[in-house]
């Protein structure tokens, strides 16, 4: 199987290496960043233009920032889709608006090209060790055929429905994570303001119903004042904007998403866009004048 992968950023680069390690060695890659391409070529891939990828690959993968990038690479001037053969498959692993996924799939369907939307969660560490979680939308038979390819990059690969269901699931994931972080920041700030050590609050409640993966990962960062990004505020704003856009399109109420998006936007406006999303705590610190844990 000849595979093309476009987008070799924080996520795409290690994912390309895991495709190669998984035995899919006929891999063509492309990115605007030539250093990233060279690194993946050194691992065994071949550098190619988007035209060459479209013309020669059985399956084209993308790992790009957002909907406009995927639309432009696939459907724009000299877009990859224009070169793809009928029967080829497109798998978008980027986190984009599910409405855009459906629009792209509809254009590709006219050319007899099937599409899966297959965003991931797990971040760079899981991209490196090949243990990402894939949430996938598309036809069952296309999913079945390409599941082994996705399993070279992920530990969990779940089909959630037809095209768009993968990115809808990802939006749900991003809403839950953002609101959890906000609740955690609000609660720890309240505790410290009321005279209780937030570290002790964390230790006392982490094993109970309020405990969560978010709490275990983010409470220590908030208490230490560590905002080094695992996942950046600006990327989370992108996902929540997609969630709001999708919600407005389908008529779903998302008041919690709107509120936490505004807090993240405040952080973006105050030089926080490149900080970890746990920096939501800094919004509460700004309002109260305290520093968590200090």
Give the residue with the Cβ less far from ligand NAD, 65 or 161. 65
Q: Select from 2-10, 157-165, 192-200, 258-266 the region that touches ligand NAD (CB under 6 A).
A: 2-10
C-alpha–C-alpha distance, residues 232 and 230, integer Å: 6
Instruction: Note the helical H segments in the chain.
Output: 12-21, 34-42, 50-56, 67-75, 98-110, 123-129, 140-151, 165-193, 198-205, 213-224, 233-250, 255-269, 280-288
Examine residue 273 and tell whether it contacts ligand NAD (CB under 6 A): no
Which string of DSSP letters, residue by residue, matches 36-100? HHHHHHHTT-EE--HHHHHHH-SEEEE--SSHHHHHHHHHSTT-GGGGPPTT-EEEE-S---HHH
Give the residue with the Cβ less far from ligand NAD, 103 or 197. 103
Q: Which residue is nearest to ligand NAD (CB)?
A: 9
- Considering only 3, 5, 8, 16, the residue that binds ligand NAD (CB under 6 A) is 8
C-alpha–C-alpha distance, residues 140 and 96, integer Å: 21
Interaction pattern, residues 80-99, with ligand NAD; x per rule: CB under 6 A? --------------xx----
Examine residue 10 and tell whether it contacts ligand NAD (CB under 6 A): yes
Give the residue with the Cβ less far from ligand NAD, 7 or 198. 7
Among candidates 281, 96, 132, which has minimal Cα distance to 198? 281
Nearest distance, CB of residue 278 and ligand NAD, angstroms = 13
C-alpha–C-alpha distance, residues 210 and 277, integer Å: 19
Give the residue with the Cβ less far from ligand NAD, 12 or 138. 12
Question: Given the structure tokens 């060279």, which residue do they identify?
Answer: 38
Q: How many residues bind ligand NAD (CB under 6 A)?
A: 27
Nearest distance, CB of residue 63 and ligand NAD, angstroms = 5
Say if CB 158 and CB 134 are below 8 A apart: yes
Say if CB 190 and CB 222 are below 8 A apart: no
Give the residue with the Cβ less far from ligand NAD, 39 or 186. 39
Provide the token pair at 176.
């839950």
Annotation says 46 is catalytic: no
Say if CB 2 and CB 60 are below 8 A apart: no
The interface with ligand NAD within residues 21-60 (CB under 6 A) comprises: 30-33, 36
Nearest distance, CB of residue 93 and ligand NAD, angstroms = 7
Give the residue with the Cβ less far from ligand NAD, 192 or 242. 242
Interaction pattern, residues 110-149, with ligand NAD; x per rule: CB under 6 A? ----------xx-xx-------------------------
Output phi, psi for 85, to 5 deg. Answer: -80, 150
Examine residue 167 and tell whether it contacts ligand NAD (CB under 6 A): no
Instruction: Check 13, 102, 170, 218 and give the catalytic one.
Output: 170
Nearest distance, CB of residue 158 and ligand NAD, angstroms = 15
Output phi, psi for 286, to 5 deg. Answer: -60, -40
Residues engaged in binding ligand NAD (CB under 6 A): 6-12, 30-33, 36, 63-66, 69, 72-73, 94-95, 120-121, 123-124, 231, 235
Catalytic sites, residue numbers:
170
């Amino acid at each position: 199987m000849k595979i093309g992968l476009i987008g070799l950023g924080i996520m795409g680069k290690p994912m390309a290496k895991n495709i190669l390690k998984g035995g899919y060695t006929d891999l063509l890659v492309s990115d605007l960043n030539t250093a990233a391409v060279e690194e993946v070529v050194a691992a065994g891939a071949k550098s190619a233009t988007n035209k060459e990828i479209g013309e020669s690959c059985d399956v084209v993968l993308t790992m790009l920032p957002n909907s406009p990038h995927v639309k432009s690479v696939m459907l724009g001037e000299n877009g990859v889709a224009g070169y793809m053969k009928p029967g080829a498959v497109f798998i978008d692993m980027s986190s984009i608006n599910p409405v855009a996924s459906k629009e792209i799939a509809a254009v590709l369907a006219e050319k007899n090209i099937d599409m899966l939307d297959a965003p991931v969660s797990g971040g760079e560490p899981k991209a490196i060790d090949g243990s990402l979680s894939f949430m996938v939308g598309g036809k069952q038979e296309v999913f079945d055929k390409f599941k082994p390819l996705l399993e070279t990059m992920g530990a969990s690969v779940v089909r959630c429905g037809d095209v768009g269901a993968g990115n809808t699931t990802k939006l749900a994931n991003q809403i839950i994570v953002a609101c959890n972080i906000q609740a955690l920041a609000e609660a720890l700030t309240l505790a410290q303001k009321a005279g209780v050590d937030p570290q002790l609050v964390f230790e006392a409640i982490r094993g109970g119903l309020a405990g969560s993966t978010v709490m275990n990962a983010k409470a220590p960062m908030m208490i230490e004042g560590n905002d080094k990004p695992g996942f950046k505020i600006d990327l989370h704003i992108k996902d929540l904007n997609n969630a709001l856009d999708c919600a407005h399109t389908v008529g779903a109420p998302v008041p919690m998403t709107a509120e936490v998006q505004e807090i993240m936007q405040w952080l973006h406006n105050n030089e926080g866009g490149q900080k970890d999303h746990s920096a939501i705590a800094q919004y509460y610190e700004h309002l109260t004048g305290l520093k968590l844990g200090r």
